[in-house]
A and B are shown apart, each in its own frame.
Chain A
């Protein structure tokens, strides 16, 4: 058995992230410190949580482009609720965010599951619908920090054992995703549905339903991130997280999640998100204009997919196409 780091793509990516981190440390000494590691992890938490949800969706051969709009809508909704009823406990607001996010995700999921509409088109549509709804409920107004209650703003930054709650949440979801995807039937089904829908169908997996679950999870996590985003930055407005869906997809793609479905690991996604986090944090430190950020993430996505397409060549061939599987599914019904 070869050593772990040289063998797996995720290991290689982790190596790249670590080397990059220390290389930047050579230029800017302050960069390498425990507190900076914690702060980078904390800054990347929302991206990681969203990327974990997106991973499920991509693994089942779909894509969810509506996550950022979902974040904006639920964020605005909880911020407005908090503004109007400051006495409501934060736990209730978080429950509201989770429920609304889940609902928005379920809408995507229903279209994909029951109507068999390509997810890219549906989420492209819901992306603009959710963003537009954010405008409708807020009338284009901003909710600023003084309009939010102290408890609402303080929760994600409360520090436990040196790490803010936001970071702990990310750790919690990483562990949960790891356990669910590795050890439960529910989690394994995402891989079988995406890896070979035909085989999955004949083994009794309801592919459409699994895809629905993926969108449901992705939406629920987006709802939670809506609250986290708004309270972390202490402001809610229509354009919150505009274009963030691309970073989320980028984190997955860099982390080795195959857009063809069936492939992807929690560790890879975390590393992909951290890669983006380190780059974003390093640019101002090494004196590069933030305007470079977009081009760099674009170039990294392309480089990552090229690398993945090369290494994925040995994968088994899919002989039957998924369209036939879905026809067979209809025929059996």
Chain B
């Protein structure tokens, strides 16, 4: 691989240890192997695993989260994070419920949902870029704020009057077992693949993540770029809110509680460095499917949901420690040589 060597030669010395291209290839193939293993294990554990309808049902559990994981990968690569995404879903879903209650037509409900998400993202982005506040604090604040507004509007009420046809987004099938949700995910995965790996926007994202100062001095408008990324995350949270609300058929302020954890886990499991500067959409997509299959398999053998959160948590801890352990091991071996 020629590109590989070129990247290596030109790389800056303070490049992250996980940022090397050859390591990525290994990480993704590692994911593929584990995914394969999980699928084989699942089909042994339960005869119902390899049923097309069951597999299709399983995709519903992760597509909404996965839709947010895609822009979140870009955001984390650019050294920022957004932990308010689940709260954005709650607010967007609540506002969609309200406009439906007022008799808005189908397209208006969907546009409102996505627009509210975009506005929330804009709010995060402006706070981070205008006031130079770390995104983790901003989004801890907006996390309570967005969900709090949702609680103010709804209290302990539930909204469930949606226009006709709204249920298609979360429950409809495009062709045979292929759901609308899954098709949406595939399309957005391709879009974000192009955006991160084939476009100038993506190169700039990596540049900012590797060295924001150098990126700034090379003429990249770092703040505007980050603002766009936050808006993207917001918009995709809006899209996820449309799908989730449509699938559940109702809205409560507690909707999507705790999702930020699984979304960030997906991104980190996909090989995106939490310190920024490296990661691929392919890895994230693999991680998403892997987590979906693990959850589905555990569901098949009746493991309760909260035990799954333990496993997801342990997986997250293991995955972030692994690159460090590998580089420690390598450093140790180098010193011995």
B144 CB within 8 Å of chain A: yes
Residues of A within 8 A of B132 (CB): 309
B115 CB within 8 Å of chain A: no
Among the stretches A6-14, A214-222, A295-303, the one at the interface with B is A295-303
Q: How far is the CA of A306 from the CA of B138 in the complex (A)?
A: 9
- Give chain A nearest CB distance to B280 CB in angstroms: 19
**B127 and A297: CB pair below 8 A?**
no
> Chain A 132-146 against B: per-residue CB contact (8 Å), 1 yes, 0 no?
110110001000000
Q: How far is the CA of A17 from the CA of B155 in the complex (A)?
A: 27
Known: A238-B306, A294-B144. A118 touches B320 (CB 8 A): yes
Interface of chain A residues 114 through 141 with chain B (CB within 8 A): 115-118, 120-122, 124-129, 131-133, 135-136, 140
**B144 and A132: CB pair below 8 A?**
no
B1 CB within 8 Å of chain A: no
> Chain A 295-333 against B: per-residue CB contact (8 Å), 1 yes, 0 no?
111110110011001100000000000011001001000
Residues of A within 8 A of B81 (CB): 120
**B148 and A297: CB pair below 8 A?**
yes
- Give chain A nearest CB distance to B272 CB in angstroms: 11
Q: How far is the CA of A317 from the CA of B113 in the complex (A)?
A: 42
Chain B contact residues: over half helix, strand or loop, or mixed? helix
Interface range on chain B (Cβ under 8 Å from partner): 35 or more
B103 CB within 8 Å of chain A: no
Among the stretches A151-159, A194-202, A285-293, the one at the interface with B is A285-293
Known: A132-B309, A295-B151. A309 touches B325 (CB 8 A): no
Q: How far is the CA of A293 from the CA of B253 in the complex (A)?
A: 13
B331 CB within 8 Å of chain A: yes
Among the stretches B164-172, B219-227, B311-319, the one at the interface with A is B311-319
B264 CB within 8 Å of chain A: yes
- Give chain B nearest CB distance to A47 CB in angstroms: 15
Residues of B within 8 A of A116 (CB): 324
How many residues on chain A are close to B (CB under 8 Å)? 48
Interface of chain B residues 144 through 163 with chain A (CB within 8 A): 144-149, 151-152, 155-156
Residues of A within 8 A of B143 (CB): 246, 298
- Give chain B nearest CB distance to A291 CB in angstroms: 4
B299 CB within 8 Å of chain A: no
Please name the residue on chain B nearest to A58 by beta carbon: B137
B268 CB within 8 Å of chain A: yes
**B141 and A295: CB pair below 8 A?**
no
B134 CB within 8 Å of chain A: yes
**A249 and B140: CB pair below 8 A?**
yes
**A128 and B140: CB pair below 8 A?**
no
Q: How far is the CA of A333 from the CA of B299 in the complex (A)?
A: 47
Known: A118-B320, A132-B309, A133-B310. A294 touches B137 (CB 8 A): no
Chain A contact residues: over half helix, strand or loop, or mixed? helix
Q: How far is the CA of A132 from the CA of B312 in the complex (A)?
A: 10
A63 CB within 8 Å of chain B: yes
A21 CB within 8 Å of chain B: no
A19 CB within 8 Å of chain B: no
Known: A298-B143, A301-B140. A260 touches B148 (CB 8 A): no
Q: How far is the CA of A128 from the CA of B263 in the complex (A)?
A: 13
Residues of A within 8 A of B142 (CB): 298, 302
A259 CB within 8 Å of chain B: yes
Contact of B317 among A111, A133, A136, A294 (CB under 8 A): A111
- 26 example contacts (A-B, Cβ-Cβ < 8 A) are as follows A115-B325, A118-B275, A121-B316, A122-B317, A125-B317, A125-B320, A126-B313, A129-B309, A131-B306, A132-B310, A135-B304, A250-B141, A260-B134, A293-B148, A294-B147, A295-B144, A296-B148, A298-B141, A298-B142, A298-B143, A301-B137, A301-B145, A302-B138, A302-B141, A306-B133, A324-B14
Contacts from A to B (Cβ < 8 Å) = 63, 111, 115-118, 120-122, 124-129, 131-133, 135-136, 140, 238, 246, 249-250, 253, 259-260, 289, 291-299, 301-302, 305-306, 309-310, 323-324, 327, 330
- Known A-B contacts: A128-B312, A259-B134, A298-B145. Give 11 more (CB < 8 A): A118-B320, A125-B265, A126-B317, A128-B309, A129-B314, A133-B310, A289-B152, A293-B148, A297-B148, A301-B145, A309-B132
